[in-house]
């Protein structure tokens, strides 16, 4: 299958929500929907979907373009890339990557970065096959809401 890749639309939200839930995130539907709809209009965020021959969304990628001081340049960051499990191995992820890499190039980005969970070994192999290298550690600190801190 050669997927059609197109910009995401408001009507794609339910499918994208289902894809992101595959990653194991427990997400508030309404909160994510609000952010999604706001982000669709952000000039530096690019949401793309891959659709199959039946026009069903089977993949999603998001690209954020940012001007980083430590690069003195524009950097593309892939924030999400999810392919429906039944459709993996059909070059959909590769097509989505190529698509956003082209967007990043046209914007003048000098590099594209991404993070992936340490447990996702298949994803690591995929990204390495696609020319990404392991060059950084990413550290995460969960921040409690102010009300949660007061309760403890």
Q: What do you get for the CA distance between the two ends of the chain, in Å?
A: 53
Lowest average pLDDT, out of 2-6, 8-12, 148-152, goes to 148-152
Q: Give me the residues paired with residue 75 across strands.
A: 66, 111
- The burial of 97, by beta-carbon neighbours within 10 Å (0-12 exposed, 13-18 middle, 19 or more buried), is given as buried
Q: What is the pLDDT of residue 69?
A: 87
Q: Mean pLDDT, to the nearest integer, of 124-143?
A: 83
Q: What is the pLDDT of residue 82?
A: 94
- CATH architecture of the domain formed by 4-151: 3-Layer(aba) Sandwich (3.40)
Is residue 104 a contact partner of residue 63, using CB atoms and an 8 Å limit? yes
Q: Mean pLDDT, to the nearest integer, of 72-79?
A: 92
What pTM does this model have?
0.86
Is a pLDDT exceeding 80 seen at residue 30?
A: yes
Q: Give the number of other CB atoms < 10 A from CB of residue 91.
A: 16
Q: What is the pLDDT of residue 9?
A: 97
Lowest average pLDDT, out of 7-16, 70-79, 136-145, goes to 136-145
Q: Is 39 left (phi over 0), alpha (psi -120 to 50) or beta?
A: alpha
pLDDT tier, 151 (very low <50, low <70, confident <90, very high otherwise): low
Domain boundary assignment for the chain:
4-151
């Amino acid at each position: 299958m050669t997927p059609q890749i197109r910009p995401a639309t408001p009507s794609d939200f339910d499918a994208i929500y289902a894809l992101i839930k595959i990653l194991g995130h427990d997400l508030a539907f309404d909160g994510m929907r609000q952010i999604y709809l706001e982000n669709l209009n952000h000039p530096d965020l690019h949401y793309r979907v891959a659709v199959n021959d039946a026009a069903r969304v089977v993949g999603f990628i998001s690209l954020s373009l940012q001007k980083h001081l430590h690069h003195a340049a524009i950097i593309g960051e892939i924030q999400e890339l999810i392919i429906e499990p039944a459709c993996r191995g059909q070059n959909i992820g590769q097509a989505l990557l190529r698509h956003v890499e082209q967007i990043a190039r046209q914007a003048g980005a000098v590099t594209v970065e991404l993070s992936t969970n340490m447990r996702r070994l298949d994803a690591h192999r995929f990204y390495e096959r696609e020319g990404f290298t392991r060059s950084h550690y990413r550290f995460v600190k969960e921040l409690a809401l102010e009300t949660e801190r007061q309760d403890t």
